[in-house]
Amino acid sequence: MLMNPLPPGLYRWHEFTDRSALQDAAVAAILDSAALSIRERGRFDLVLAGGDTPGEVYQRLRGAPTDWSAWHIYFGDERCMPPTEAELNSRMAGEAWLDHVPIPPGQVHPIPNGPRADKAAEAYAQTLRAVGIFDLTLLGLGQDGHTASLFPGNEWGVAPDAPDVLAVFNSPKRPPQRVTLSAARLNRSRRVIFLVSGASKRKAVARWRAGENIPPRAIMGEMGVDVLVESALLEPLKHPEGNP
Ligand code: 6PG
């Protein structure tokens, strides 16, 4: 399902009756993007989303018919916790997918984890200096409206000259310390796909579609943004004034 290139500044909402259909569409879109990027440029630079939603999408990529040697993997954000923690985004992606495919190890670029978000952010910014525009960036949506580790009320790094990578010390979603690509760096992507499923996201989706200034509003790829969302999350809220 190749996303037709449209003028930037456009959101495309793709509704799916259930999580499995959304995951199938996500896999197809990722592989379409990979095939196009590898055909046009000989490589595919992909930014992974963290959290639980993408896990099954990553698992479904294990058997994909693609040239893994051309894939280069980056992460949109990471949780600052010990490397043994299962909740690390890089560990989740590894166990679900990356440990099971022959992407050259030097082409998988986890965000350094460890106790200091500022040191990890500095190190990852150095890593990203070698990378131009991403071919595809995958993002999730938190129930409070965050994406990656860009949280409402925090600095999102929207300005074009914003740092590529930000340290977060007050994440409302554990752990408090995280590292995240800035909105400006995430926007240097040809395509951006949000994967949004789970009843808890309903209010955040309503706020986003109502035009509230929550972090996803700061995200815009060169070819717009594609949001893969479960249909149930688009139904009007019964109590719009409800708490997030
Ligand atoms: C994280 C993620 C975060 C995630 C959203 C959605 O480290 O938690 O990067 O941005 O994508 O919180 O998470 P779920 O998919 O688990 O709902």
Give the ligand 1 atom nearest the CA of 139.
Answer: 11
For residue range 38-47, what is the model confidence (pLDDT) as tens digits? 999 999 999 9
Q: Is the pLDDT of residue 10 over 90?
A: no
Residue 239 has pLDDT above 70, yes or no: no
Q: Which residues pair with 16 in a beta bridge?
A: 230
pTM over 0.75: yes
Query: Mean per-residue pLDDT for 191-198?
Result: 98
State yes or no: pLDDT of 223 exceeds 50: yes
Q: Is the pLDDT score of 189 beyond 60? A: yes
How far, in Å, is the centroid of ligand 1 from the Cα of 131? 24
Kindly provide the residue ranges of all beta strands, DSSP E only, lying in the chain, ordered along the sequence.
Answer: 11-16, 44-48, 71-75, 77-79, 134-139, 165-168, 178-181, 189-196, 225-230
| Secondary structure letter of residue 170 according to DSSP | -
Cα gap 75→140, rounded to integer Å:
12
Mean pLDDT of 202-215: 95
Q: 113 CB under 6 A from ligand 1?
A: no
Instruction: Give residue 113's pLDDT band: very low, low, confident or very high (50, 70, 90).
Output: confident
Which pLDDT score is estimated for 87? 94
Mean pLDDT of 5-19: 80
Residues pairing with 165 in the sheet: 181
Q: Which segments of the chain does DSSP mark as H helices, in order?
A: 19-41, 55-61, 89-96, 117-128, 183-186, 202-209
**How many angstroms does the Cα of residue 148 sit away from the middle of ligand 1?**
7
Domains and CATH numbers, the chain: 11-234 (3.40.50.1360)
Reported as a pLDDT band with limits 50, 70 and 90, residue 241 is: low
- Relative to the CA of 195, which ligand 1 atom is closest? 15
